[in-house]
Structure 1
């Protein structure tokens, strides 16, 4: 009559995610995409270990979709210049490696891509932390008169 608790929790999580996406800055959205890929890759690794091939394939497919339709599609190659072109090449490489990992059930390849993704995420978070700071001229400096 009221549905299962699992279904309710899933609906709540979906609303939470949608709210987070709607309220997120473009910078935060990219971090969320990186997080989505990393979670999918960890899921794929776990599913290889328990020989759940269907779930492994679904997790890798999700990671590739996020890379291709989220991260690559959001690149502005005109404004981003060489950096955007390099990221595009790296994302293409990662997608191809994950296709290979899917065929071979190769955890090492998935770990390689997860490491690259984690490095990109870390750099992106660091850039965001710096961009959230006010310019030096706007930061409060200690007053010499208060001493």
Structure 2
């Protein structure tokens, strides 16, 4: 009985925190937030899959795809050179895996996309700490 109101309150606080972080973030931190949200969406898709909630899984997968598209669109190929091109290839591969996450291949494809993005996210975080 108390679960729904508490969950709504927690989500509200989470949104305030996320929005505050976005408002105060520099360009590097914005990309870091996008990676966090992307991994969160993939994780949610996996949890929904485990519960058998396919509509929610597809919704989370679609949100993850939107974030991947935004990351790819933010690449500066003129200044980023080979790194930007490599990231575009990585983002497309992750996107292909998300889009192929159907039927019996749903879980392995979601996990594969998460693994790819997790590696890039970890590297991005390390760059920001230097």
Q: Identify the TM-score tier after normalising by the shorter chain.
A: 0.7 to 0.9
TM-score with structure 2 setting the length: 0.88
Deviations 1:101-144 (A, max 9, x none): 145552111111111111101111111111xxxxxxxxxxxxxx
More helix by share: 2
* Larger Cα-atom Rg: 1
Deviations 1:18-50 (A, max 9, x none): 111011121111111111111111111111111
TM-score with structure 1 setting the length: 0.78
Q: Quick one: distance in 1 between partners of 2:8 and 2:47?
A: 23
Aligned residue in 2 for 1:63: 64
Alignment length (residue pairs): 126
Aligned residue in 2 for 1:144: none
Checking the alignment, whether the CA contact within 8 Å between 1:60 and 1:102 is kept in structure 2 is no
Aligned residue in 2 for 1:108: 108
Checking the alignment, whether the CA contact within 8 Å between 1:41 and 1:59 is kept in structure 2 is yes
Aligned residue in 1 for 2:73: 73
Q: Quick one: distance in 1 between partners of 2:38 and 2:68?
A: 7
Structure 2 unaligned blocks of 5 or more = none
Q: CA deviation at 1:15?
A: 2.2
Structure 1 unaligned blocks of 5 or more = 131-147
The CA RMSD measured in Å over matched residues stands at 1.6
The DSSP-based 3-state class of the residue aligned with 2:100 is helix
